[in-house]
Amino acid sequence: MPEIQPADPASRRKLVVWLSLFLLVTLLSQSVIQGFTHWLAEDPERVRDYFGRIVGAIALVFSPLFVFGYYAWQMGVAVIRAKRFPPPGMKVIKDTVVIKGRKAVSRGRALQVCGVILWGTAIALPIAVWWILGNILSETP
């Protein structure tokens, strides 16, 4: 019979609280983004004037991906070192079958790849917006 790591009810409650806060912030940010879009649409020349700030704001929006990428990378490192998923001492929100050996190392490497992808996304998307918006602004009179 496989080893089962039991769920931690306190971690489950924390997850619900954090997800609720995240959804609330997301809903509030939607109204801020909509107001910002309308403000820019009133005078298209503002895009030229505030080009750096717009790209900076987009970079700020994607900056949490660095934190999530770091967390995924570190979890991958812990899994690879322990050759066990979930790593020892990690709290889980539901009863989880423990994976050991080669499969755990593969999962740890996959977590590291996810971390790198998140970092790449956090870097590439603001650069892409900067490049696209810059090209659009340079072609318009």
Q: What is the pLDDT of residue 95?
A: 93
Q: What is the pLDDT of residue 109?
A: 98
Number of domains present in the structure of the chain: 1
Which residues of the chain register pLDDT less than 70? Answer: 141
The set of residues, in sequence order, having a beta carbon less than 8 Å from that of 24 and lying 6+ positions away, is none
Q: How far is CA 121 from the centre of its chain?
A: 9
**The model's pTM:** 0.80
Q: What angle do CA 59, 133, 136 make, to 5 degrees?
A: 180
* DSSP H helical ranges for the chain: 9-42, 45-49, 51-62, 64-82, 102-139
Q: What is the pLDDT of residue 58?
A: 87
Q: Which domain holds residue 105?
A: 4-139
